[in-house]
Amino acid sequence: MASTFASRRAPASRRNRRRLAADAGLLVAAAAFVLPLAWVVLSALDPRASLRVKIPDGLTLENFDAILTPEITFTPLLNSLVLCGGATLLTVVCAALAAYPLSRFRSRLNRPFLLTILFATSLPITAIMVPVYALFVRVNMIDTMQGTIFFFAASQLPFAIWLMKNFMDGVPKELEEAAWTDGASSFQSLLRIVLPLMGPGVAVVTVFSFVMMWGNFFVPFMLLLSPDQMPASVSINDFFGNRGMVAYGQLAAFSIVYSTPVILLYVLISRRLGGGFALGGAVKG
C-alpha cells in the first residue's frame, strides 16, 4: 500500500502530462466523430441547408413543420411502432418463457440448446433475407405486418433468450422455493416472483430488442412492399426518390425525429448496463 502510494506521488507531473496528452487525443477523435452529427443538427435548423457543416443562415423550425405531416412522418413512425412494438412484445414473452426452464431446471438438453441459441445469435441475418423473401412469397406472407413481426421476433429471439437466461440466473432459487411449497405453479412463480425481481433485466432485453428493430432497414425493406405499411427506416429513402430535389434540411429534421426515441431508450438502459459488454453479439446489422 505504502509503496503504491509512493509510486503514485513521485511521477505526478508526468502523470499530469500524460493526462493532458490523453485528453488531447480524445478531443481530436471526438471532433472527427462529431462532424456528421453536427451536420444533422445544424441542417435541421437551417432554412437553406446544404450537404456541409456550416453556421445556419438563421434558425428556423420550418423544416420540422414541413415534415410533421401524417404522410411523411406520423404514418411511418406509427408503422415502425406497430412493427417493432409487436415484435418486441412477442420476443420478450417468448424469451422469458423459454429462459425459465433453462435457468431453473437441470436437463441434459440445456447445454446443446444454449449452444445452438448462441450460434444463432451471431449468424448474419442479412444473408438469409433473399430466401426469406422467396419463402414469404410462397406462403403468401409477403407484404404483411404479421409476417414481418414474426420474422423480426425470430431473428431477435436467440439473443433475447441468452440475455434473459443470464439475468434470470441472478435471481436466487431460494426465493421461489417458498412459493413452491405453498403450492404455486412454476408459471405463477415466474410471473409473481422471478420476473418482478429481474425487472431491470427485462427492461434491458425489451429496450434492446426494440432499438435493434427500430433501426433495422433490410428486413422491412425486403418483406414489405406497399408504401403505406413502410416503417420510418425505409420511408426515409423517399427523400431521395419520389420528391424530386432533395430537401436536405427536411431530411435532417426527419432523421432527428426518427432517431430520438432510440437515443432516449439507450440513455435509459445504459446506466443499468455499466459497461457495454452485456450487449456483446448484438450489434449485427
Partner 1 sequence: MTAATPQHTGPGPGPEVRKAPPGPPAPDPARRARSATTRRALFRALPVSPAVILLLLFLAGPIAYCVVIAFTDLQLTGQAEESFVGFENFRRAFQDEAFLNAVWLTLVFTVLSSLIGQNTLGLALASLMQRASKPVRTLTGGIVVTAWVLPEVVAGFLLYAFFRREGTLNAILDWLRLPSQNWLFTLPILAVSFANVWRGTAFSMLVYSAALNEIPKEVTEAAEVDGASGWRRMWHITLPMIRRSIGTNLMLNTLQTLSVFGLIWVMTRGGPSGKSQTLPLFMYEQAFQNSLIGYGTAVALLLLLIGSLFSVVYLRLLRTEV
Residues in 140-179 at the binding interface with partner 1, rule: CB under 8 A: 150-151, 153-155, 157-158, 161, 166, 169
With CB under 8 A as the contact rule, which of the stretches 49-57, 68-76, 175-183, 192-200 interacts with partner 1? 49-57
With CB under 8 A as the contact rule, which of the stretches 11-19, 58-66, 67-75, 193-201 interacts with partner 1? 11-19
User: Least distance in Å: CB of 254 to partner 1?
Assistant: 9
Q: Which is nearer to partner 1, 60 or 259 (CB)?
A: 259
Nearest residue to 145 (alpha-carbon basis) of 61, 86, 216, 70? 86
With CB under 8 A as the contact rule, which of the stretches 1-9, 63-71, 175-183, 199-207 interacts with partner 1? 1-9
Q: Does 74 bind partner 1 (CB under 8 A)?
A: no
Q: Which is nearer to partner 1, 16 or 69 (CB)?
A: 16
Number of chain positions touching partner 1 (CB under 8 A): 108
**Which of 68, 114, 184, 203 touches partner 1 (CB under 8 A)?**
114
With CB under 8 A as the contact rule, which of the stretches 59-67, 176-184, 196-204, 274-282 interacts with partner 1? 274-282
Q: Does 227 bind partner 1 (CB under 8 A)?
A: no
Cell numbers at 202, concatenated = 427485462
Q: Does 95 bind partner 1 (CB under 8 A)?
A: yes
- Interaction with partner 1 in 172-211: which residues (CB under 8 A)? 186-187, 190, 211
Whether 46 and 55 have beta carbons less than 8 Å apart is answered as no
User: Least distance in Å: CB of 64 to partner 1?
Assistant: 16
Q: Does 111 bind partner 1 (CB under 8 A)?
A: yes
**Which of 47, 199, 227, 285 touches partner 1 (CB under 8 A)?**
285
Distance CA 259, CA 273 (A): 21
**Which of 233, 249, 250, 253 touches partner 1 (CB under 8 A)?**
233
Distance CA 243, CA 230 (A): 16
User: Least distance in Å: CB of 136 to partner 1?
Assistant: 9
| Signed CA dihedral, 209, 214, 215, 220: sign only | positive
- Residue 123 DSSP SS3: coil
Three-state SS annotation for 140-202: CCCCCHHHHHHHHHHHHHHHHHHHHHHHHHCCCCHHHHHHHHCCCCHHHHHHHHHHHHCHHHH
Q: Does 35 bind partner 1 (CB under 8 A)?
A: yes
Encode burial over 233-257: b for 16+ CB neighbours within 10 A, e otherwise.
bbbbebbeeeeeeebbbbbbbbbbb
Give ∠ CA 247-81-128 in degrees, rounded to 5.
90
